[in-house]
Amino acid sequence: MAYHQWSRNAQILDLAHVSDNLSLVFSGYPRLADRQVLAISGPDALAFAHAQFSSDVAGLADGHWQWSAWLTAKGRTIAVFQLLRLSAEELLLILADGGGDEIGSQLQRFVFRRKVKIALRDDLQVVGAFTAPDSAAGAVCAGSLHEGLELDLGSDALPRVMRIATAAGTDAGDGGFTDAWRQADLRYGVPRIDASQREQWTPQQLGLDRLNGYSVKKGCYPGQEIVARTHFLGKAKRALQLLQVSVPAAPGDAVEQDGNMLGSVACVAGDLALAVLPLETGDAALGVGGQPAQRLPLLDGLAR
């Protein structure tokens, strides 16, 4: 079944049926072609990551993972990623939106005298399937890099499993599978930030609180003061909304209501879009590209 056919079916089937359909269509573990693995290793890896990223890295146990982000000093989001703690000296960042070389180079500027190595792991591939994991659950990983790591990327509503394996012998997959996975990301409210949207949005605007993707209790990190101020003073005025669009959309497109610009699209996957809109939008219809856009509820269950 082609991706656009699945997309149309997803509009009329409940999520349980969609999940069953996907598990049949994409059997096995095709490669997620848009994923890159960035490794941070060394005696100071944990301290370095804790000081740079928005999540509580130091509080993460070995063999667990969490959502995290790297922000500018002004609290704008450069990248959103999965952060895996293999040990206190070995962390993996699963980047979904490219730019691994650039992000690695930018991080390197903050290493200074710390004993840290930052490198892309081209020897690893990320694969997935629309089925429940065998052993992983929630934030707890299963397996090892040697045997293959398993991660739980779904819920009962829409189960998904991700595995990190050596490049040799994995299924090459196809664009349809990667596109379907991206749509599932958006259904869960996982923002996909391409180059045009980097440094545009705060973590609150991107809904990272739904994923436990930032901490307001840990020590200083880039953008922490702005994140904490927005959180404690309740000044967040915009939030993420899932839309189903009638015409092709692109990041940065305007979302309109009653002829006025209300907000803008942050990321797109097929006929789904995550848009940053005011907290109160009223009941009037929304539009993108001059055509109606339907509000859809976000799925819960992916907080880690």
Write the pLDDT tens digit of every residue in 45-79.
999 999 999 999 999 999 999 999 999 999 999 99
With bands split at pLDDT 50, 70 and 90, how would you rate the model's confidence at 167?
A: confident
* HSE (side-chain half, CA atoms, 13 Å) at 201: 32
Indicate which CATH number applies to the domain containing 160: 3.30.1360.120
Question: Is 292 among the domain residues?
Answer: yes
Q: Are residues 200 and 292 in the same domain?
A: no
Q: Are residues 207 and 285 in the same domain?
A: no
Q: Are residues 131 and 241 in the same domain?
A: no
> SS3 for 157-185, per residue?
CCCCEEEEEECCCCECCCHHHHHHHHHHH
Q: Are residues 80 and 144 in the same domain?
A: yes
The average confidence (pLDDT) of the chain is 89
Write the pLDDT tens digit of every residue in 93-117.
999 998 999 999 999 999 999 999 9
pLDDT value for 1: 37
Choose the final residue of a domain: 192, 215, 230. 230
Question: Is 304 among the domain residues?
Answer: no
Question: Is 301 among the domain residues?
Answer: no
Q: Are residues 40 and 124 in the same domain?
A: yes
Q: Are residues 50 and 138 in the same domain?
A: yes
**Average confidence (pLDDT) over 230-246:** 89
Whole-number Å distance between alpha carbons of 195 and 190: 16
The residue that leads in pLDDT, 237 or 253, is 253
Q: Are residues 156 and 210 in the same domain?
A: yes
pLDDT exceeds 60 at position 180: yes
User: What residue has token string 């180079």?
Assistant: 105
Range of the domain at 245: 237-296
Q: Are residues 265 and 226 in the same domain?
A: no
Indicate which CATH number applies to the domain containing 281: 2.40.30.110
Write the pLDDT tens digit of every residue in 283-296.
899 999 999 999 99
Number of domains in the chain: 2
Q: Are residues 63 and 105 in the same domain?
A: yes
pLDDT value for 12: 30
Pairing of the two strands 117-120 and 36-41: antiparallel
The residue that leads in pLDDT, 24 or 212, is 212
